[in-house]
Amino acid sequence: MYTIFKDSTILLVDDVPENLTVLGSIFSSLHCELIAVQDGKQAIELAVSEKPDLILLDISMPGMNGFEVCQSLKKNSETKDIPVIFVSAKVSSEDITKGFESGAVDYVTKPFNHAELTARAGTHLTLSKAIKDRESLLQDKDKFISLIAHDIKSPLSGVMSLMRLISEDYEAFDEAERREMLNDIYESLSAQYKFVVDLLDWGRLQLGRVDLNKETIDPKMIVEAVTSLHKLNAENKGVNLKTSFNTDAKFEADPTHIDTILTNLVSNAVKFTKQGGDVTVQVDSFVGKIKISVQDTGIGMSEEDKAKLFKNDIIHTTPGTNQEIGTGLGLLLVRELAEKNGGMLDFASELGKGTTFFVTFPIS
């Protein structure tokens, strides 16, 4: 349980220096960060600025007493969720009741047992961090659902508008115009279908419902299979799709997952590369690992776009060089599939010069 204290900050509030020394010696051995103050007003200011994970608070202090400090903290939206434990020599039932009524989560009387105090502090740190994690997950979920709704509704609205035009004014358009409109509808619906497939796969990963059936993978075979499927699309766009193999090493992974990873990376590389550009899929080995790189000479990414790339609460999409539509979920899926198979995804990109994605796995 004591690992909860690592990377935690505890604010110690007591007007007696000797008491702060005792508390400090107890909790410093648990490798947490400590802030010690002797004044209630200063304690409130530090709680607002430092956002400690836990506050140990004395009651009998000059100026603001502990009850007043706790009440003030609970009224402030920035500090109301910080757990407060009173550590006091006041032992009457009235004082203990008043302590809980002022917003404290616990009350420890002096002289206290060191093991009991650390156990109670650890329990409340664990509960507090669990609540924060849950709230963060709920916020991410709400943002994600909102973004998904937008990404589904907007393209479908465009499809419906085109369908209405064709339905209501079919004869007003010549054959070339109708064919172009139907092609736009097909492209939009294809992108939405891919979005739904990626969303379902990503959701199953979050729920732990994706089976892992590892086999020995020959990277050359799977790379050649994937690139052959994208060869025609690359040629139609005027992009040179190449492969390079500098190792015969193999690795253990689920072949279906590796196929999904490479398909996403290669299709993205082609999508963001202009006519005359190159996409190279290269396999190397180094220090017990196999590295598959997908490098393009495309449009690259800005620093802002790179920062958004793997955030679960942002479905980041960018049109391709021929205005191809992306799902925004592909790279999230790629990263999680790589990690599920014991690998790692990384990338390097420079705006206007291209992007390289690297996926690495331990050599079997």
d(CA 319, CA 302) in angstroms, rounded, equals: 14
- Residues 267-281, mean pLDDT to the nearest whole number: 92
Both tokens of 179, joined, read 């064919």
- Residues 325-342, mean pLDDT to the nearest whole number: 76
Question: Which of 335, 334, 329 shows the shortest CA–CA distance to 199?
Answer: 329
Among 133-142, 190-199, 341-350, the range of highest mean pLDDT: 341-350
Question: Which of 195, 351, 219 shows the shortest CA–CA distance to 293?
Answer: 219
Which residues on adjacent β-strands are paired with residue 253? 215
Q: In this predicted model, what pLDDT tens digit does every residue of 114-123 receive, in sequence order?
A: 999 999 999 9
Per-residue pLDDT at 6:
85
Q: Of residues 189 and 200, which shows the higher confidence score?
A: 189
pTM score of the predicted model? 0.52
> Where does the pLDDT of residue 323 fall: very low under 50, low under 70, confident under 90, or very high at 90 and above?
very low
Q: What is the dihedral of CA 218, 224, 225, 231, to 10 degrees?
A: 160
Both tokens of 198, joined, read 């990626």
Please compute Rg for the chain using Cα positions: 29
Q: In this predicted model, what pLDDT tens digit does every residue of 24-59 receive, in sequence order?
A: 999 988 889 999 999 999 999 999 999 999 999 999
E strands, 134-218, are 215-217
Q: pLDDT at residue 144 above 70?
A: no
